Amino acid sequence: MRIRAKTTAGLATAAALMLGTSAFAEPDMDARLVVNEELEITTITAAPDHLEGALEQVISGWHYRGETTRAMQADDFENPAMAFVDEGLATWDTVDGTEGESCASCHGDIEESMKGVRAVMPKINAENGELWSMEDYVNDCRTNRMGAEAWNWDKGPMKTMTAAIALQSRGMPVDVAIDGAAAPYWEQGKEMYYTRTGLLQLSCANCHQENAGNYIRADHLSQGQINGFPVFRMKQSNLVSMHNRFFGCVRDTRAESYAKGGPEFHALELYVASRGNGLSVEAPSIRN
Amino acid sequence: MADAKPRVKVPKTATAGEPITIKTLISHVMESGLRKDKKTGELIPQQIINRFTCDFNGENVVDMTLSGGVSANPYVEFDAMIDAAGEFKFTWYDDDGSVYEASKSIELA
Amino acid sequence: MTYTRRDALAVGASGIALLASTRVAFAVTGEEAIAEFTGGAAAGEGGITIKAPEIAENGNVVPVEVDAPGAAEIMLVAPANPSARLASIKFGPKSGAQRISTRIRLAKTQDVTAIARMADGSFIMTSQPVKVTVGGCGG
C-alpha cells in the first residue's frame, strides 16, 4: 500500500502495522514482581467480566519491558521514580496557601489516610456527581481548603504528589466502579477506546488489544494498562501522568488530541483503568 | 535545584572486613546542555550533579565525577568495607553550587 | 512515495536522535578521554568486566556495571556520544570492592568502554557493545 508520507513517527507506525512487518514476542509471563523482597504485585490476572472475552488475561505493562527495566522496579532504592515520590512526600508536609496548612495538617500520615485511594481512581465525586481523577481531588483541596493555587495537571508538583499518593495503594487491586453514576462516563470512555481516530485511523484497541505483544518499530506493545501510573518514562526520564500519555498517543494517530484534565480523558481514564481491574496498583512504575 | 531529594540504602549492620553494598538515588534532571528548548530552539544550559562522594567516619569510600552522560535521577551503587560502627556521609555537588547531603549510621554485626 | 522500513528507522522523533547529531564545543571524544586518563599509556586486557544489556530498552536509562578488582580508579566512556566521557570513580580507603553500578545515556548503538587505573599505575580496558533502538510510537 502506498502512503504519501511526511517523515513522522506516527506514519512509520502505520506503515509497520499495515505492511505486517512487526514481530511478535511473548512477554515474559513467568517473571514475578516482588518489590523490596516483600510486596507481591499481581501483574497478570483474569480479564474483568466487562471485557466480554476481548482479552483472555489482563497483563501489566511490566511484563512487556526488558529484564533490566523490570529489575529496576523491584527495589525502591533502584527505582528512579522513587526519587520523585520523595519529593511528593516532602510536599505533603509542606505548608502552602493562605490557610497555612499542609496536606498533613488535615490528612495526617499519608500512609494511613491515602491507603487505597489510587486503587479506585478515577471515581465519582459524591458531592457533585462528576468523575474526578486524583489530580482533581488534590486541586480541590488546594484551592478550596488550603487557599493555595491549583497545580498544573502535568507539571512537577502534581506529578510527584500523585506518585506519593499512588504509592500508598501499591499492591492493592485496581477496583474502579463502572456502574451507577459512573456508567455514562465509562460508556463514553469505551466508545473512545474502540473508535478509530486521526489521519492514521487508529483506535486504542488496534494497538493495545489487537496487537499487544507485537512490536511497533522498537517498542514492545503492551495492553495499555494504567495500573502503573504515574510512571517514570525512560523516554522523558521523568514522571508521566495518564492524561499526558493519552495525549501523546492520540496525537500520534495524527488527530487533534484532547486536553489533559478534560472530559474526554477523564472518561478514557475510567474505561482504561477498568480494563485493569484486578491487577495490582504498581505505581510508581518504570516504562519506556 | 534546591529540592533534589537523596535516597540511600545502607544495611543496618555490617561485619567488619566484609564488603556491603550501598545504593544511592537522587532526583535531578541532569540537564546535559545538549537538548534544545522545543519552543525557542535555544540550547537548554547544562545543569547536572557533577560530583558524588561517600565518606565513612571521615574517610573516603568513593569519589565520583559525573557528566551529562549519566541518566537523570542518578543512581550510584558501590561497595564499602568498615571496621567500626559509624556514619556514612553522602554528598552530591550540583553545577549551580548547591550541595545535597544525606547520612546513614551503621552498626557492627 | 512509498514509505520503506529504512525510512521509518531513519526517522528519529526522539530527542536521542538530536543528541546524536550534535557536537558541542566542550565535548570530548572517546580517544581524547581515554588518552587523558591514561596519559597516553597503553591499556591491557583482562581483569575488568562490564555488565550492560545487549539491547538497551531506552537510550536514556542504560544500567551499566563495571568491576575491576584492585583498581584505584575506573572511567566509563561512550565513544559515540556527543561527549564521550560519562563518569569516573576513585576508590578510597573505605571502599569495599572496585565496582560501580550506575545508569548512563547512550546516544546510539556503540561499544561502551571502561578503563581502570590499577594501584601499580598500569591500565586495563574493556568494552561491551550495546544496541540502542530508536523508540516506537506512543506519546
Domain-wise residue ranges, chain B: 5-103
**Residues A16 and A53 reside in one and the same domain:** yes
Q: Which chains touch A (3 or more CB pairs under 8 A)?
A: B, C
Among C47, C93, A275, C115, CA closest to B57: C93
pLDDT > 90? residue C48? yes
Share above pLDDT 90 across residues of chain C, in percent, rounded to a whole number: 73
Domain boundary among A116, A132, A167: A167
pLDDT 10s digits, A20-65? 444 677 788 999 999 999 999 999 999 999 999 999 999 999 999 9
pLDDT 10s digits, B68-100? 999 999 999 999 999 999 999 999 999 999 999
**Residues A264 and A141 reside in one and the same domain:** no
pLDDT band at B109 (very low <50, low <70, confident <90, very high): confident
End-to-end CA distance of chain A: 30
pLDDT > 60? residue B1? no
Query: What dotted CATH number matches B5-103?
Result: 2.60.40.10
**Residues A89 and A69 reside in one and the same domain:** no
**Residues A21 and A85 reside in one and the same domain:** no
Can you give the pLDDT at residue C57? 87
Name the pTM for this structure: 0.88
CA-based nearest residue in chain A for residue B73: A80
Residues 220-259 of A with CB under 8 A from C: 221, 233-235, 237, 240, 244-249, 251-252
Among B29, B33, B24, CA closest to A156: B29
Among candidates C19, C83, C94 on the partner chain, residue whose Cβ is nearest the Cβ of B81: C94
In a domain, residue C56? The reply is: yes
In a domain, residue A237? The reply is: yes
For residue C66, the enclosing domain spans 29-132
CA distance A69 to A287: 8
Residue C69's CATH number: 2.60.40.2470
C42 and A CB contact within 8 Å: no
Residues 36-75 of B with CB under 8 A from C: 36, 55-57, 59-72, 74-75
Can you give the pLDDT at residue C26? 59
In a domain, residue A220? The reply is: yes
**Residues A68 and A143 reside in one and the same domain:** no
Q: Considering its fold, how many domains does chain A have in total?
A: 2
pLDDT band at B5 (very low <50, low <70, confident <90, very high): confident
**Residues A130 and A11 reside in one and the same domain:** no
Name the residue with cell 488535615.
A106
Q: What is the mean pLDDT of chain A?
A: 91
ipTM higher than threshold 0.90: yes
d(CA A23, nearest CA chain B) in Å: 29
In a domain, residue C7? The reply is: no
Can you give the pLDDT at residue C5? 54
**Residues A90 and A151 reside in one and the same domain:** yes
pLDDT tens per residue, chain A (288 residues)?
443 444 444 444 444 444 444 467 778 899 999 999 999 999 999 999 999 999 999 999 999 998 999 999 999 999 999 999 999 999 999 999 999 999 999 999 999 999 999 999 999 999 999 999 999 999 999 999 999 999 999 999 999 999 999 999 999 999 999 999 999 999 999 999 999 999 999 999 999 999 999 988 777 899 999 999 999 999 999 999 999 999 999 998 999 999 999 999 999 999 999 999 999 999 999 998
Between strands A231-233 and A285-287, the pairing is: parallel
CA distance A21 to A215: 9
A79 secondary structure, DSSP code: -
**Residues A218 and A189 reside in one and the same domain:** yes
Cβ within 8 Å, pair A21-C5: yes
CA distance A261 to A130: 13
CA distance C86 to C90: 14
**Residues A206 and A275 reside in one and the same domain:** yes
Q: Determine the average pLDDT of the residues in C48-69.
A: 95
**A207 belongs to the catalytic site:** no
CA distance A119 to A276: 11
- Please count the residue pairs, one from chain A and one from chain C, whose beta carbons lie less than 8 angstroms apart: 100
Chain C residues whose beta carbon lies within 8 Å of the beta carbon of residue A19: 5
Can you give the pLDDT at residue A220? 86
C-alpha cell at C61: 536509562
C-alpha cell at B91: 554528598
For residue A119, the enclosing domain spans 81-167
Cβ within 8 Å, pair C134-A5: no
pLDDT > 90? residue C91? yes
CA distance A261 to A265: 7
Q: Considering its fold, how many domains does chain C have in total?
A: 1
CA distance C71 to C124: 9
Domain boundary among A167, A197, A217: A167
Between strands C62-67 and A285-287, the pairing is: unpaired
CA-based nearest residue in chain C for residue A250: C139
Can you give the pLDDT at residue B3? 65
